Amino acid sequence: MVEISLECAIVGQAGTFNVKIDNGKKVSVLMNAIKEKKPDTIKGDVKDLQLFLAKTANDAWLDGTGVEAVMIDEAAAVPVLFDDHGNRQGFVKMNPLLWIKNDQHFRANFQPGEGQIHVLVVVPGDAGVGVASFEPSALPTAVHRHPKRLKRWAAINEMIRQKNQEGNEKTSNSDTNKKRTKRDIDSSIPYSSLSWTDLELILPMEEFNLEASPVPDKVVVELRDRLVEIRKLYGDIYSGKAAKRQVYIVPIFEAVCLMLGDATILVEEDVKGKNVHVHGRFEFVLKRGRKRVSIVVAKRDNIPQGIAQNVAGLEALSDVEGLERTLGIVTNFLEWVFISDDDEKIRWIDDTLKIRGSVPSIESLREIVGMVHGLLVNGT
């Protein structure tokens, strides 16, 4: 027998761990060694564990990035991976009765390489660990979604698990040292509680080439005159809270919808993801036919948090409605961020409303109205 070093990963959990074991031992012995290595994570009967070779269809070992994209098919309780074309790949299950060095497993001449993952560990759902998963019976089914979208959802869910786990470990009162009520680590959280720091690495964003639509002079002049009257009634935009910002922002959306003639404004639209564990509310949604633009009114000095809230909400909207593209706007009236959340990538572009004499300049206002219009009409 020869001692070999196997790098293992629990599907749906961040990180990997190493197990050293003789290759002449049975896979059942490896199962015990894995449970002993992760006693706080793997609970329940060891016989309920499932081990799979972490090899792709072309016989290459997965690396850390590849493992992060693996999900569980809950109907079959097996790990699956989708390539960039949406093709599904399964993995070879290891037989507990056979030797580790069996030709179906690692063979006698196995040598580990740098950066390789060798064993995928699947823990049953009630054994104390959550996994990134999908339910083929759900509509829309995650199995039909783009692999890059699924990878983002898995990463978001893992980040949320860690947040929930950290919350469970904190005390609610340092004086009484009483534990707060524990929550399921896989429970959904409001996307308003997320920061851009939480999502920046999970949801990288590219530049969005959004063209502003032409806006008639009459529309811009009437809108500016209205904003002048709003300032007389409510005071400067620089003071006050979210409610005042909304008073300034809504006329811009109204102007766009009136230009189109067939667009409407929805107020306080709730969205809760099924496969991605976030929920919350958009302050406004511009709706024209089947196209929607979901809007977050950001805090005056925290546009990044508004972006995090909007993008998380767009991912949830894509989840529940089966959309390949969702569109969003984040604004505090002075700053504007336009977002296109597509299956393959997320794009964004920002602009600033220039103020002249305490109200927006005509040309700056024309640009913002044109970009909102362009997003609702084109959004490509």
Whole-number pLDDT of residue 101: 95
CB neighbours of 190 closer than 8 A, spacing ≥ 6? Answer: 278, 279, 280
pLDDT, tens digit, 9 for 90 and up, residues 162-213: 888 877 776 444 444 554 555 567 788 998 889 999 998 889 999 999 999 9
The helix-helix angle for 362-377 and 217-234 (nearest 10°) equals 110
Q: Say how far apart CA 254 and CA 270 lie, in whole Å.
A: 21
Residue 139 DSSP SS3: coil
CB neighbours of 146 closer than 8 A, spacing ≥ 6? Answer: 86, 324, 343, 344
Give yes or no for a contact between 47 and 127, defined as CB atoms under 8 angstroms apart. Answer: no
Other C-beta atoms lying within 10 Å of the C-beta of residue 235:
12
Q: Say how far apart CA 44 and CA 31 lie, in whole Å.
A: 12
Asked whether residue 127 carries a pLDDT value surpassing 50, the answer given is no
**117, 120, 118: which is closest to 106 by C-alpha?**
118
96 token code pair: 């507990």
Give yes or no for a contact between 163 and 81, defined as CB atoms under 8 angstroms apart. Answer: no
Sign, Cα dihedral of 122, 124, 128, 131: positive
Lowest mean pLDDT among 88-92, 239-243, 257-261: 239-243
Q: Say how far apart CA 174 and CA 347 lie, in whole Å.
A: 43
N-terminal to C-terminal alpha carbon distance within the chain: 60
- 133 strand-pairing partners: 72
**Residue 353 DSSP code:** P
pLDDT, tens digit, 9 for 90 and up, residues 312-370: 999 999 999 999 999 999 999 999 999 999 999 999 999 999 988 778 999 999 999 99
- What is the mean pLDDT of the segment spanning 111-119? 94
Other C-beta atoms lying within 10 Å of the C-beta of residue 197:
10
160 token code pair: 């949320």
Rounded to two decimals, the pTM is: 0.63
Residue ranges of domains in the chain, CATH in brackets = 3-134 (3.10.20.90), 205-377 (3.90.1570)
